Amino acid sequence: MNKRNSGGTTKGVSEFRIRIAGLGGQGIVKMGIILGMAASLYGGKEAVQTQSYGPASRGGVTSSEVIISEKEINFVKVAESDVLIALSKLAYEKYLPKLKKGGVLIYDPDLVQINQGERSDVEKVPVHATKLAEELGNKLVANTLLLGVFTKLFPLINKEAVEKAIIKNTPVDFKELNLKAFNVGYKIGEKIKKH
């Protein structure tokens, strides 16, 4: 990642806006809830989380928006995001125009095919999240894996705070797998930062 986006952009920024988008059933809203909880309950910051669903809750485009701030948040809607995490082509097409210039797109290239030259004004970070999640034993932890990538790339919230929020929001039988996926993603984020 470029120096301008590898954590440096979060310093001195009063509000940081994240949009997570995909299809119903991919854990999109859960990702937003975990991020918001990690920031507010365990990270000592202000945070709001909103969500929207497509025409069908499973299979329709779903998004979750999170704003993280050092100060009180007055407006809870995300017009332009600093980061877009995209887990489906439909969601990518819908929300890419709402990613601000100089923003960062984190996406799964097995689910989202990008047209050459499209949005050359944003940084693109491909992560084969679904494939890696399948290797861990369940493709549904792709969302938690991407949370790990995000947490490392944007040090808004410390790792332990996100892990606490994952534990709080995950069924007992899946806690260990989700924490493992998060840590795999975190290590991927470390590699991306180095390059």
Return the exposure string of 55-93: e unless at least 16 CB atoms fall within 10 Å of the residue's CB, then b: eeeeeebbbbbbbbbeeeeeeeebeebbbbbbbbebbbe
Q: In whole angstroms, give the CA distance from residue 105 to residue 87.
A: 11
DSSP reduced 3-state for 34: helix
DSSP reduced 3-state for 85: strand
Residue-wise pLDDT tens digits, 55-80: 555 567 899 999 999 998 887 788 89
In the chain, what are the domain boundaries?
8-112+121-194
Helices 159-168 and 28-40 meet at what angle, rounded to 10?
A: 120
Average per-residue pLDDT in the chain? Answer: 89
**Token pair for 75:** 């407006």
Least confident among 50-64, 121-135, 159-173, 179-193: 50-64
> Could you tell me which CATH class the domain 8-112+121-194 is placed in?
alpha beta
